[in-house]
Amino acid sequence: MTERRCIVCRQSHAKGDLLRLVCDDEGSVWPDVRQKAPGRGAYVCWGECLERLRDKHLRAAWKGRARALEPARALRQRLAVALWEMCRQYVRRRRGALDVGRDAVMRRLWEDAPVLVLLAENAGQALRRQIEDACARRAQAGREVALHRAGPAELLARLLEREKVSVLAMDAGPASKKWLRDWMWCARLME
């Protein structure tokens, strides 16, 4: 895989581990989450570097072409919208493969396939304890499980176009792991 250098930490990373940014003709910086937009791109690490991204990094990446009027803040808003749309499309495509709610997730946890479980940060204490215990038992049995806190229940419900969602499960494959990273950043940026 091709390596690229992060504009914040200046370290080389695999291209897939970085967020690509592009600058349009008017000097506005846009996230290129699919990494296919035309033009010269700059890259930033997902994680601490994305949080530390400042206007000076963007101006340096495009030699002053980026607009000086808070492009880093505008970029974060554009990124939240882009990630929201990507996450929503993924969920719509995979609607039949998602198990939503306590009973459906508990059934999924007893299957042999690797599973990814998302639990809302503000889920009830009893639900949290029940899901965490079931995931721990599954892991002790040697079956792959990944449990993640997934933002507020209201945001999950909006994503799934439901009234309330506190827990959901899906197969743990490469696509779902990439979706999880996108979702965690989307939830963080939308707070």
CATH number at residue 106: 3.30.1330.30
What's the length of the chain?
191
| pLDDT the model gives residue 46 | 85
Task: Give the chain's domain count.
Answer: 2
* pTM for the predicted model, two decimal places: 0.79
pLDDT digit string, tens, across residues 103-128 = 999 999 999 899 999 999 999 999 99
Same domain, 128 and 174: yes
Domain that holds residue 123: 94-190
pLDDT digit string, tens, across residues 13-71 = 887 778 899 888 777 788 888 888 887 788 998 888 888 888 888 888 888 665 554 57
Same domain, 127 and 51: no
pLDDT digit string, tens, across residues 78-112 = 888 999 999 999 999 998 899 999 999 999 999 98
Same domain, 178 and 154: yes
Final residue belonging to a domain, choices 57, 86, 115: 86
